[in-house]
């Protein structure tokens, strides 16, 4: 049995912390717990803000394609209120791929360039 240096409660040898007051039971525990404590790493906010800006631009300049009655053809990236032809439609598949790719790249970049 060991006794707690702070509250003097008797505890089994396998305990590393006192169940009464929570203090460490020997000095080696304090030094090892201090080594394992990691400082919080913050994601890089500038990269996340850039990702949001690119997502907004992707929504404003969507990928257009020919209407369903015609053969599929990519018509380019135009402003959402100014389609390349009057009957052109926004390609939902290309838009989904574009937005997901931008989001994944933004989160990966924010993690990769996080502040250490």
Among the listed residues 8, 27, 28, 31, the one whose alpha carbon sits nearest the alpha carbon of residue 18:
8
Long-range contacts for 6-9 (Cβ within 8 Å, ≥24 apart)? Answer: none
pLDDT of the residue at 101: 97
The length of the chain, given as a count of residues:
116
Q: Which residue has the higher pLDDT, 105 or 11?
A: 105
Residue with tokens 């970049």: 109
HSE, side-chain direction, 13 A CA sphere, residue 60:
6
Which two structure tokens, joined as six digits, stand for 26?
């020997």
- Please write the tens of the pLDDT for every residue from 20-76: 888 888 755 444 444 444 445 788 889 999 999 999 999 999 999 999 999 999 999
How many helical (H) and strand (E) elements, i.e. helices and strands, does the chain have?
3, 5
User: What one-character DSSP code corresponds to residue 42?
Assistant: B
At residue 87, the pLDDT reads: 92
Q: Which two tokens stand for residue 1?
A: 């049995």
């Amino acid at each position: 049995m060991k006794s707690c240096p702070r509250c003097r409660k008797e505890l089994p040898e396998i305990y590393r912390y006192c169940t009464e007051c929570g203090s460490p039971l020997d000095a080696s525990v304090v030094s090892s717990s201090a080594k394992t404590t990691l400082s919080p790493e913050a994601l890089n906010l500038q990269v996340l803000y850039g990702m949001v800006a690119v997502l907004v631009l992707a929504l404003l300049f969507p990928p257009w394609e020919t209407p369903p009655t015609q053969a599929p053809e990519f018509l380019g990236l135009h402003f959402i209120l100014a389609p390349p032809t009057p009957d052109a439609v926004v390609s939902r598949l290309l838009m989904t791929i574009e937005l997901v790719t931008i989001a994944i790249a933004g989160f990966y970049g924010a993690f990769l360039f996080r502040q250490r």
